[in-house]
Amino acid sequence: MARYVDVRVSGFQEFNQAVEQHKGKTIFAYFTGSKDAEGKSWCPDCELAEPVVLDGLKHIGEGCVFIYCQVGERPYWKDPNNDFRKQLKVTAVPTLLKYGKPQKLVESECLQASLVEMIFSEE
């Protein structure tokens, strides 16, 4: 049995479904610009942060949930009324956060392995 649950979603609706499904557990969410057919994101910072964040998963606590969420295409993201911005207060990609808690890493913070380790391992 895996130490933690790894969920991959695209878009706001799928994200909420995943959160609902795992209600009651500690949920970490990583938001990235969506990837193209070649697996590359329109967001250059996300490309840089992803390996750091995925590597940081080794610090995640037992029984936690990690939701990897592709937010959508660039025009959707840039729209100030997009659901992530309005309802989740996620205003930048990449963002790594602990759902329902104040712990959050935004943009260049996601590139720092020590900060990623800290957010995953904190009690």
Partner 1 sequence: MIFSKSYCPHSARVKELFSSLGVAFNILELDKIGCVHAHQSGLLQTLLEEKSHASAYDYDLIVIGGGSGGLSCAKEAAIWGKKVMVLDFVVPSPHGTFWVKHNWETMIEAIQKHIGSLNWHYKSSLREKAVTYVNSYGEFVADHKIKATNKKGQEAYFTAANFVIATGERPRYLGLPGDKEYCITSDDLFSLRHSPGKTLVVGASYVALECAGFLIQQLESGSPGKLKVVAKSTEGRETIEDIYNTVLLAIGRESCTRKLGLEKIGVKINESDIAASIMLCSIRFPQESELKATVGATCDYVNVPTTVFTPLEYGCCGYAEEKAAEVYSKKNLEVYHTLFWPLEWTVADRDNNTCYAKIICNRLDNDRVIGFHIFGPNAGEITQGFAAAMKCGLTKQLLDNTIGIHPTCGEVFTSLEITKSSGLDISQKGC
Which residues are catalytic, by number? Answer: 43, 46
Closest CA to 56 of 123, 3, 14, 118: 118
User: With binding defined as CB under 8 A, does residue 105 bind partner 1?
Assistant: yes
Structure tokens at 58: 């080794």
Closest approach, Cβ 49 to partner 1, in A, equals 15
Element (H, E) at 68: strand 65-70
Minimum CB distance to partner 1, residue 114 (Å):
5
Beta bridge pairs of residue 96: 30, 105
Question: Should residue 114 be labelled a site residue for partner 1 when binding is judged by CB under 8 A?
Answer: yes
| Residues contributing to the site for partner 1 (CB under 8 A) | 101-105, 109, 112, 114-115, 118, 122-123
